[in-house]
Amino acid sequence: MIAELGHFALVLAFAVALVQGTLPLLGAARRDATLVAVAPPAALVQLLLISIAFGALTHLYVVSDFSVANVAANSHQSKPLVYRISGVWGNHEGSLLLWVWILALFGAAVAAFGRNLPVLFKSRVLAIQALIGVGFLAFMLFTSNPFERLDPAPLEGRGLNPILQDPGLAMHPPMLYLGYVGFSTTFSFAIAGLLEGRIDPSWARWLRPWTLAAWTALTLGIALGSWWAYYELGWGGFWFWDPVENASFMPWLAGTALLHSAIVVEKRDTLKSWTILLAILTFALSLLGTFLVRSGVLTSVHAFASDPARGVFILALLVVAVGGALALYAWRAPSLQGGGMFAPVSREGALLLNNLLLASATATVLLGTLYPLALDVVGGPKISVGPPYFNATFVPLMIPLFLALPIGAVLAWKRADLVGAVQRLWLAAVLTVALSVGLVLVSDLELGLSLIGYGLGLWLILGSLADPLSRAALAGGGFGRFWRRLVGLPRASWAMVLAHAGLGVLVIGVTATSTGQSERILTMKPGETAEIAGYEVRFEGVREVRGPNWIARRGTFTVSRDGNFVTELASDKRFFVVEQRPTTEAGIHTTLLRDLYFVLGEPARDGAWTVRLYHNPLVVWIWGGAVLMALGGLLSLSDRRLRVGAPRPARVPAAMSAG
């Protein structure tokens, strides 16, 4: 009954999406206020219906209704409640339902909060949003129905892949999808703008909160995924350039470029056609990611079970949505007039450089991700493209980007003078060099890529902080005045400082972990001690422990330094009884400066065990940096200038009838 209710809600949502995707477009073309007025309530109804479906599936998981095929295949009564719930999106059908739910959520949010949008524009945005929904709801209903019944119903379910039974992974997909799918709004804004033939600063202003929200969620989502891979997979690594990681990283890179180029449109009314293209491509890359994960064209730890029918369907969706959007772009974009001119040395020029580098980086990752597939298709050998490729191509693009970033952020619009920029930044530059040299002197750091990494990270942090500090200091006056000026800076400025400094923190973390990791793999008997990076590690032995749906062998270690107790760590080899699969739980002790990361291996002879000990310097800075960046996004989102004062266009443009 509940399953049928959920299924029925989905079918209704599909019908509503069809209405919402067609009538308002027709109405906008004919200036029919009645048809246009359909869009906002339809968007809210759609959210309601898909929420019902989502609630229904969650209920079925919570009560373990194994007469539903999806539940039987992915759940088990012995699973803790939280993983029965997160199991809803731990599989292809359920995660697709989460996808369309978030799509509807954004549509409803535009309907509810987009009060400053002109009626015609808003109805077009909602219609495009609904058309995307039509595609995905059809995909669900025809190839991936989560409510399919199973007859006879099994007594027990098959369980969820144990590595997915984890708090980090329970949160990772919803966060990631908020980002991925959030970029659907920028896509809809771009298409609506092209249909109206009017892209101007107010368009960029409307776009901005949605881009920021999606970007913030995607930043957190990727960080969560990387953190999960770090502590759960037991390899001590944080990023593997896996095709599916790349699939989430490409929209992030393109979305970051979009975030910056939209500022140029907002402030200077130029770079319009490029910004539109970025808005389309960012969502196109999100769709491509969805395609890659679900069609089975690539092998990856993330890939869902592949089914050719599904692949064909998503490809058709991709072609219609992205191909259609790009065709519209080819038709309408040439008529967009560029606004003000600017000198190469200016804020616009710097943002253009940012865009060029980020777009090249996106293309690099795209090439590396699709190259094996392309080579295979033309009859070449099956290959895999791994970290060496990305390190050799991606990293060199980031170096000029990070070097230029603090400079670009202090340049004035239109025409900037480099002397002024140097005045604000010289102290930061001197400090960066001094600290880097100091680092080489006090540690055994080699002159090379690691030093460049630390230097760039410091430069990003100090250079970003230098701007507000120097702006407040240059105004003169005592400390009180300095402080007031500092606090009085707009939130968006602080948001920028926070995000850019966060990037610097992340760069330092990545550099330290990639170049400074110590690793020891050895066999230890209980009572034996080993040494890693100045810590004495005593292996206490292994005992058996039981969890709710697993049994484990737990190895414990006592860590001390110079005779002082530091911590006790436990690493599990868990065996999930239902799924018949083992997982590894690393024992991790985190401080701001380093992680101790111990993994219990296999038993060796004479009661000894193989163990892997890692010392990862500054690794927590990676996720800390990402969190700072996301906080920057949230802070910028909270700037009230975004909500009030967005200019309303005085009249309806004449060129919109073609929609």
Partner 1 sequence: MKAQLERPATPGSNRRGWLYLLPVLLFAAVGVFLALGLGRDPQTLPSVLIDKPAPAFALPPLPGRDERGFSSADLGGRPMLVNIFASWCVPCRIEHPVLDQLAREGVTIHAINYKDAPEDALAFLRALGDPFDRIGADRQGRAAIDWGVYGVPETFVVDRGGRIRYRHVGPLQPRDLERTIRPLLAELAR
Which residue, 178 or 279, has its beta carbon nearer to partner 1? Answer: 279
- Residue 265's alpha-carbon distances to 333, 348, 650, in angstroms, are 14, 10, 19
Q: Residue 181: which of 239, 259, 107 has the closest Cα?
A: 107
Burial of 608 (0-12, 13-18, 19+ CB in 10 A): middle
Based on the shown chain and the rule CB under 8 A, indicate whether residue 331 belongs to the binding site for partner 1: yes
**Any residues with CB less than 8 A from the CB of 4 and at least 6 apart, and which?**
147
Measure the N-to-C terminal CA separation of the chain; round to a whole number of Å. Answer: 43
CB of 541 to partner 1, least distance (A): 17
Based on the shown chain and the rule CB under 8 A, indicate whether residue 301 belongs to the binding site for partner 1: no
Which residue, 167 or 338, has its beta carbon nearer to partner 1? Answer: 338
Q: Which helix (H) or strand (E) holds 550?
A: strand 550-561
Which residue, 418 or 521, has its beta carbon nearer to partner 1? Answer: 521
CB of 288 to partner 1, least distance (A): 8
Which residue, 148 or 376, has its beta carbon nearer to partner 1? Answer: 376
**For partner 1, which residue of 124, 172, 294, 332 counts as binding (CB under 8 A)?**
332
Based on the shown chain and the rule CB under 8 A, indicate whether residue 330 belongs to the binding site for partner 1: yes
Based on the shown chain and the rule CB under 8 A, indicate whether residue 92 belongs to the binding site for partner 1: no
CB of 649 to partner 1, least distance (A): 9
Based on the shown chain and the rule CB under 8 A, indicate whether residue 295 belongs to the binding site for partner 1: yes
Based on the shown chain and the rule CB under 8 A, indicate whether residue 200 belongs to the binding site for partner 1: yes
299 by DSSP, 3-state: which? coil
CB of 74 to partner 1, least distance (A): 20
523 by DSSP, 3-state: which? strand
Which residue, 137 or 281, has its beta carbon nearer to partner 1? Answer: 281
**For partner 1, which residue of 63, 319, 343, 437 counts as binding (CB under 8 A)?**
319
Based on the shown chain and the rule CB under 8 A, indicate whether residue 384 belongs to the binding site for partner 1: yes
**Any residues with CB less than 8 A from the CB of 400 and at least 6 apart, and which?**
353, 357
**For partner 1, which residue of 601, 624, 632, 633 counts as binding (CB under 8 A)?**
601
CB of 577 to partner 1, least distance (A): 16
Q: Which of residues 42-71 bind partner 1 (CB under 8 A)?
A: none
> 544-573 mask for partner 1 (x: CB under 8 A)?
------------------------------
State phi, psi for 603 to the nearest 5 degrees.
-70, 140
C-alpha 117 chain-centroid distance: 27
Based on the shown chain and the rule CB under 8 A, indicate whether residue 326 belongs to the binding site for partner 1: yes
**For partner 1, which residue of 273, 282, 436, 556 counts as binding (CB under 8 A)?**
273
96 by DSSP, 3-state: which? helix
**For partner 1, which residue of 93, 269, 348, 572 counts as binding (CB under 8 A)?**
269
The site for partner 1, by CB under 8 A, has a size of 57
**Calpha distance 425→428 (Å, rounded):** 5
Based on the shown chain and the rule CB under 8 A, indicate whether residue 578 belongs to the binding site for partner 1: no
**For partner 1, which residue of 67, 581, 631, 634 counts as binding (CB under 8 A)?**
581
* Per-residue buried b or exposed e for 84-100, using 16+ beta carbons within 10 Å of the residue's own CB: bbbbbbbbbbbbbbbbb
Strand partners, 452: none
Q: Left, alpha or beta for 227 (phi > 0: left; psi -120 to 50: alpha)? A: alpha
CB of 641 to partner 1, least distance (A): 21
Q: Which of residues 124-183 bind partner 1 (CB under 8 A)?
A: none
Which residue, 208 or 272, has its beta carbon nearer to partner 1? Answer: 272
Which residue, 352 or 425, has its beta carbon nearer to partner 1? Answer: 352
**Calpha distance 171→164 (Å, rounded):** 11
Peptide bond into 526 cis (omega under 30): no
Q: Residue 187: which of 130, 268, 249 has the closest Cα?
A: 130
**Residue for token pair 């610097």:** 504
Based on the shown chain and the rule CB under 8 A, indicate whether residue 39 belongs to the binding site for partner 1: no
CB of 367 to partner 1, least distance (A): 11
CB of 324 to partner 1, least distance (A): 9
Q: Which helix (H) or strand (E) holds 522?
A: strand 518-524
- SS3 for 561-617, per residue? ECCEEEEEEEEEEEEECCCCEEEEECEEEECCCEEEEEEEEEECHHHCEEEEEEEEE
DSSP codes of every residue in 406-450: HHHHHPPSSS--HHHHHHHHHHHHHHHHHHHHHHHHHS---SSHH
Which residue, 319 or 418, has its beta carbon nearer to partner 1? Answer: 319
CB of 510 to partner 1, least distance (A): 24
CA torsion through residues 613, 618, 622, 628, sign: positive
CB of 352 to partner 1, least distance (A): 16
Which residue, 337 or 443, has its beta carbon nearer to partner 1? Answer: 337
Based on the shown chain and the rule CB under 8 A, indicate whether residue 388 belongs to the binding site for partner 1: no
Site stretch for partner 1 (CB under 8 A), options 122-130, 336-344, 487-495, 501-509: 336-344
**For partner 1, which residue of 112, 374, 430, 434 counts as binding (CB under 8 A)?**
374
**Any residues with CB less than 8 A from the CB of 650 and at least 6 apart, and which?**
none
Based on the shown chain and the rule CB under 8 A, indicate whether residue 335 belongs to the binding site for partner 1: yes
Site stretch for partner 1 (CB under 8 A), options 35-43, 149-157, 508-516, 600-608: 600-608
**For partner 1, which residue of 67, 360, 523, 560 counts as binding (CB under 8 A)?**
523
| Contact footprint for partner 1 (CB under 8 A) | 197-198, 200, 269, 273, 277, 280-281, 284, 291, 295-299, 308, 311-312, 315, 318-319, 322-323, 326-327, 329-337, 339, 370, 373-374, 376-377, 381-382, 384, 521, 523, 581-582, 601-605, 610, 653-655, 658
